Structure formats: structure tokens, C-alpha cells
Amino acid sequence: MTPSEMSFANLLVTDKDGLRTIAVNRPKVLNALNSETIGELGRAFAAAQGDASVRAVILTGAGEKSFIAGADINELAKQTPIGGVETSRVGQKLSILVEHLGKPVCAAINGYAFGGGLELALACHMRTAAETAKMGLPEVGLGIIPGYGGTQRLPRLVGKGVALELILSGGRIDAKEAHRIGLVNRVYPADSLLSGTEELLREIMAKSPIAVKLALESVNSGLEMPLSEGLNLEANLFGLLPTTQDMKEGMTAFLEKRPPKFTGN
């Protein structure tokens, strides 16, 4: 499904040569996530997953000030215990969809990334940030905890001690510190963030789509397994590739000293 075939109240979706950009577009509230926006993000990512012409996705925020400044506090303040569980599950469902999209997804953090916004960025396979970006999980200061996967993904990414410091203090860090602790992959000047992120993804898009998909699966699923099971998964996925035209093309191109022309078959 192309962007022209989709209609969103709170998102801007654009395509450029196989690279889809999904931007949360609620700048008046710093691109905060309300239930409608979360639903639209679910539809947008599902469409990207099912569109063979889409090879990679950038998630970002509209405007220069904010990536996603968290969940909508007006909605959170009205939660009941049962409603709170459901709210968390809905956010987690979206993050799982992003994490297991089968195509590389990079969060281009162009400004504030707090709470649910940072949690959604954590579900992306990579994160880039503008030098001006600020990040944090402030939930404990509101009497709640991260609920979209932050307590699980952040420790896996930066380690337990660093993650607990961020979660329990509710503090903010800048892009430089985020890069130092491994929270973001690359930092760019604000005006170069999207072009730099695009360059990173196009480097990946030049590789075999099947190999990229299986590598994502091996890493994502393997991290949840004991090492012995993860190694077995890796071997089994490795064994699928000799049946593909992409492997034949990749090997032939290497031997012939030419760039490969992958088709995803």
C-alpha cells in the first residue's frame, strides 16, 4: 500500500526509492502518542511490512523540536487498573510489530524522545539522533513505570545498571551521552539527521533483502534464547540461504568482481 492509498490524521508517510518515512505529525503537543496515533502507527507499519516495494523504514517526528515526547498524559491520567494493562498491551503490540517487521527500521530522533516515544525508538533496530536531541524515561516521576517495553528493551541494550539509573531517576540525557552508552548508533547535526539516516539505511538496502530479514530474525529471536539455542537458530537460518537466488548472485558477483544485483528471491 502506497502513502497515497493511506489516510492518517496524525502521521506523514512518504516513499523514496524503497525507503519509507513515517513521521508522527502532532507538533502542537510535541508529537505525543494518544490512542488514535498509536492505532495509526500500527496501520502504517503493517502496511510497510506487507509492501514488497518497501525495503526499510525511518520513524521520526514532524517539526524540529520533538521526535515523540511520550504518551498523552490526558489519557494516562484517566486510567483504571484494567485500562492500564490494556494501554500497556496496546503500546507493546505496536513495539513488537516494529521490532519484528522483517525490514530494517531506524528511529531518527530529531528532538525530545521521552517515555513512550523513547520506548518506541527502542523497538526500532537502530537509532540515530540529532545533536540537539534529548531522551529519557520520566514515568516514575508521574507515579507510573514505562509500559511500552522500556523496562525490558533498555537493559538489553545498555545493560542493567545504566538502564536502572535512567528508569529510576527519570533523568534526561543528551545525544552525546546516548551515543556513549550505546543507546543510539550515530549522532548528526540536526540538519543532516534525515540524510545521514537515509545513507545508513541505503547501505543496508544494497544487500540481499532475504539475508537482511533472516539476520534480523536471528538477532531478535536469538537474544531471547540461551546461547546454545540461539546458535542452533542461526545455523538453521543460515541453511535456508543456499536455496535462494540472492545467495547465488552474491557469490557470483563477488567472484566476478562486480556489484551484486539482488532481487529478494
Distances (CA, A) of 235 to 103, 204, 239: 21, 22, 6
Neighbouring residues of 3: CB distance < 8 A, sequence distance ≥ 6: 13, 14, 15, 20
Query: Is there a catalytic annotation at residue 119?
Result: yes
How much is the CA Rg of the chain, to the nearest whole Å? 19
Burial (CB < 10 A; 0-12, 13-18, 19+), residue 48, is: buried
The residue annotated as part of the active site, out of 40, 75, 139, 199, is 139
Catalytic residue among 36, 64, 75, 119: 119
Cβ neighbours for 191, distance < 8 A, ≥ 6 positions apart: none
What is the rounded distance in angstroms from the CA atom of residue 33 to the CA atom of residue 120?
10
Catalytic residues: 119, 139
